[in-house]
Structure 1
Amino acid sequence: MEKISETITGANIRKQSAFLRLVRKLAWFFLPFWALMAFYVYDDPFMILRKYDLYDSDVMLNEQHVGWQIYQNHKDSVNFNSFILGNSCIMAFRCGEWEKYLAPGDRTIRLFGNGEGLKAISLKLHALEKEGAEIKNVLMILDRTSLSRFSLLNGYSNVLPAAISGDSPFTVQMEFIQAFAMPDFLFPYLKYRITGRVEPGTKRMNPYGRIRDSRNNDSFNPREKMIEQEGEAYWKNRKKEFPERKGTVVVEEPVIFQQQRVLLEEISKILRRHDTSVRILISPDYHQKELHPNDREILQSIFGKENVYDFSGINEFTEDYHNYYESGHYRPLLGNQLLKRIYHKEKTSLYKVKE
């Protein structure tokens, strides 16, 4: 019996020893991972783990999170009641400029996303409503692409905050962790942390410094300074960014179908609930392609003809290439002209969403 007991004891000791060796090996194997995670939490490169007063970084941040966090930072002190929603062409519209056409005391903020679609806009309005926000005015900047999108985009630069999307914070956080761990970001970022310099052309990095207002999320586009410095040479030296246009009318295929229409109706329903003054603006496309008339008519039927402004196609705004940073985005000087055109009837006139 003693020999059997000794044999069992010896076997148990060997099993424990083998288990401890396995644990040590696994610990060494996962050590780089835990070190990487510790570095990620310490650095918070995408500025989403902690609250900040200034949301500008040498890393290209997620505009969805930046806008929402700026709103959270100042909603109680500024009392935002007017919202610019839509895609990245929102950079052409300054909050202070829009406020000139609103009632005294109205305060605006930009809540946009790169490549923003209808689903994201709907979710943001729902989130504002849940927050108890006054949704008095909405300026919605759309184009054919944003009208066509009825689902959310993937990837760290597009994922919505959990408070908007309804996803778990863990699911949202995983998008950023995956982006951080990818070699095309991680290695240039490590080099940046060592040298303190952003290498030209580095993916997902911001070499321009401050690019937004920390109070209302207005855009400070570095290309404005380039235009100021270079003058006409800015456009002359960037022919690839400004391809030649044919000067003939090209009408795009329709993009608003049942799924898009459902989302547009949902957006309109929220706005009617708050008696919101809304302007729908279809961006002046550099390529001068015109939104299909069916799409325009659907928008007008949902939001009211007097609230939909289509600046696509060939017109006085798209003719002048000086209005554009590149073929995908236009400048605030054009945004100011469009606001003036939209509100030309009466400076403080407010049309309500069609019932």
Structure 2
Amino acid sequence: MQSSHSIWRFYRNCLLIALPLLLLFLFYVVEDPFMVIRHYNDYDQSRVMQNEGAVGWEKYKMYRKRCHYDSFLLGTSCTKAFSCREWNRYIHAHPFRFFSNAEGLGECYMKLQALHNVPGQRIRHLFIVTEPSFFEKTHPRQSLMHIMPPDVSGESWAHYQTVFFQGFLSPKFLMPYISYLLFGKPDTSGGDVIHAFVPTRDRYTNDALLPQEAVMAEEGESYWKDLGWCRDINKMSVHEGKQVISEEQVRVLREIRRICDLHHTDVQWVVGPSFSLEQFNRHDLEVLQQLFGKQAVHDESASLRFHDYHDYYDPSHYRRRVGNAILKDIYQPPV
């Protein structure tokens, strides 16, 4: 009798210990903050910062038959400086911005492979926006902001969902998220969790919608006056970055080249402007040019014409007007 009572008490204690986690799990399932448990008709109105690669894939599948996508803007978050509408002035196609958070070479290749495996999918044009750190990451990452859906990565559905639930439980996400739900606005710790403005992307092209541009137009020079990084610009000088392309990177780049050859793809690589004037390593530049041709590789990393704080939203992201200028240089070179 005493033994039965002890067992019952043991199970009761286990339930009490597990109850907070069970309640959090139910809360997570109901809220679905990362929009990965259920399908949605609109992925662009969420206040929660999403895994952009996963969202892009869901939007691509949702609209591909309607929009007939055949050209893709890949790369890091700096793709926000390039719009499909502006790009399409030169390529006359059906473009889609398919970027990822801090995308790496491995994720870029995996997404391109997934597109290649879609029956009937054409890949007429690729525009790949990079920076040196892009080439360092040759293997797809499995973290919250980088993992891709199972039909892209080949991972199990259970693993995919576990990564998001673990990310939900992280205090760095959970506390700002709960604060937002309670008070309706992000607190000072929620800058990397909650969007200040929605929608965040165009429905069909997935282009970034940039509220900063309207704020800049309204505030003028006042927008930059209290930003400390602006004052650092005169301290910068051109310097060469470290070599990041080696044998493993070349292997992945050759696979990308192989897919491009199969689709007769016009591919353009851009190494975007660096606020710190870090010049893309000359060895790495030569490797890219050897694999894809000099006409397909555009190094703007230490371009002094973009060395103006007015050309940046923040030290990591250059403005749409910079992207427009780069597009014009590539597709309308001077005679």
TM category (shorter chain) comes to: over 0.9
What secondary structure is seen at the aligned counterpart in 1 of 2:98? strand
2:296 alignment partner in structure 1: 307
Shift of 1:246: 4.2
Given that 2:176 and 2:193 are in contact with CA atoms closer than 8 Å, whether structure 1 keeps it comes out as no
Matched-pair identity in % = 34
When normalised by structure 2's length, the TM-score is 0.93
Query: Does 48-57 or 237-246 show the bigger shift?
Result: 237-246
2:330 alignment partner in structure 1: 342
1:7 alignment partner in structure 2: none
1:228-257 deviation line (CA, Å, top 9, x unaligned):
121112222213255224464312222111
Q: Quick one: structure 1 residues 235 and 197, their matched pair in 2 at CA, closer, same or farther if it must change by over 3 Å?
A: closer
Q: How does 1:32-51 map to 2 (within 5 A)?
A: 32-51=20-39
Q: How does 1:279-294 map to 2 (within 5 A)?
A: 279-294=268-283
1:44-103 deviation line (CA, Å, top 9, x unaligned):
011111111221312111111111111111011111100000111100000111111113
Shift of 1:119: 0.5
Match of 2:155 among 162, 167, 184: 167
Q: Quick one: structure 1 residues 256 and 242, their matched pair in 2 at CA, closer, same or farther if it must change by over 3 Å?
A: farther
1:350 alignment partner in structure 2: none
Gaps of 5+ in 2: none
Given that 2:244 and 2:284 are in contact with CA atoms closer than 8 Å, whether structure 1 keeps it comes out as yes
Shift of 1:16: 4.4
**How many angstroms apart in 2 are the aligned matches of 1:29 and 1:158?**
32
Match of 1:81 among 51, 57, 70: 70
**How many angstroms apart in 2 are the aligned matches of 1:150 and 1:194?**
40
Given that 1:242 and 1:327 are in contact with CA atoms closer than 8 Å, whether structure 2 keeps it comes out as no
Shift of 1:190: 2.3
Q: Quick one: structure 1 residues 284 and 240, their matched pair in 2 at CA, closer, same or farther if it must change by over 3 Å?
A: closer
Q: Quick one: structure 1 residues 330 and 242, their matched pair in 2 at CA, closer, same or farther if it must change by over 3 Å?
A: farther
Given that 1:53 and 1:214 are in contact with CA atoms closer than 8 Å, whether structure 2 keeps it comes out as no
Larger Rg: 1
Q: Quick one: structure 1 residues 142 and 230, their matched pair in 2 at CA, closer, same or farther if it must change by over 3 Å?
A: same
1:252 aligns with 2:241: yes
Instruction: State the AA in 2 paired with 1:44.
Output: D
**How many angstroms apart in 2 are the aligned matches of 1:193 and 1:247?**
42
When normalised by structure 1's length, the TM-score is 0.88
Shift of 1:14: 5.2
Match of 1:236 among 210, 221, 225: 225
Given that 2:279 and 2:302 are in contact with CA atoms closer than 8 Å, whether structure 1 keeps it comes out as yes
Q: How does 1:178-197 map to 2 (within 5 A)?
A: 178-197=166-185
Given that 2:72 and 2:125 are in contact with CA atoms closer than 8 Å, whether structure 1 keeps it comes out as yes
Query: Does 216-225 or 179-188 show the bigger shift?
Result: 179-188
**How many angstroms apart in 2 are the aligned matches of 1:241 and 1:19?**
65
**How many angstroms apart in 2 are the aligned matches of 1:241 and 1:155?**
32
**How many angstroms apart in 1 are the aligned matches of 2:155 and 2:234?**
43
**How many angstroms apart in 1 are the aligned matches of 2:141 and 2:232?**
28
1:151 alignment partner in structure 2: 139
Instruction: State the AA in 2 paired with 1:283.
Output: G
Q: Quick one: structure 1 residues 325 and 26, their matched pair in 2 at CA, closer, same or farther if it must change by over 3 Å?
A: same
1:19 alignment partner in structure 2: 7
In the alignment of these two chains, the number of paired residues is 332
What secondary structure is seen at the aligned counterpart in 2 of 1:244? helix
2:113 alignment partner in structure 1: 126
1:6 alignment partner in structure 2: none
Given that 1:58 and 1:198 are in contact with CA atoms closer than 8 Å, whether structure 2 keeps it comes out as no
1:323 alignment partner in structure 2: 311
Instruction: State the AA in 2 paired with 1:19.
Output: I
Given that 1:91 and 1:332 are in contact with CA atoms closer than 8 Å, whether structure 2 keeps it comes out as yes
2:203 alignment partner in structure 1: 214
Q: Quick one: structure 1 residues 226 and 343, their matched pair in 2 at CA, closer, same or farther if it must change by over 3 Å?
A: same
**How many angstroms apart in 2 are the aligned matches of 1:50 and 1:200?**
30
1:351 alignment partner in structure 2: none
**How many angstroms apart in 2 are the aligned matches of 1:220 and 1:243?**
28
What secondary structure is seen at the aligned counterpart in 2 of 1:84? strand
Given that 1:200 and 1:207 are in contact with CA atoms closer than 8 Å, whether structure 2 keeps it comes out as no
**How many angstroms apart in 2 are the aligned matches of 1:193 and 1:141?**
35
1:98 aligns with 2:87: yes
What secondary structure is seen at the aligned counterpart in 2 of 1:57? coil
Q: Quick one: structure 1 residues 214 and 290, their matched pair in 2 at CA, closer, same or farther if it must change by over 3 Å?
A: same
Given that 1:247 and 1:314 are in contact with CA atoms closer than 8 Å, whether structure 2 keeps it comes out as no
**How many angstroms apart in 2 are the aligned matches of 1:281 and 1:178?**
35
1:72 alignment partner in structure 2: 61
Instruction: State the AA in 1 paired with 2:59.
Output: I
**How many angstroms apart in 2 are the aligned matches of 1:112 and 1:343?**
21
Query: Does 225-234 or 20-29 show the bigger shift?
Result: 20-29
What secondary structure is seen at the aligned counterpart in 1 of 2:86? helix
Given that 2:229 and 2:315 are in contact with CA atoms closer than 8 Å, whether structure 1 keeps it comes out as no
Shift of 1:41: 0.4
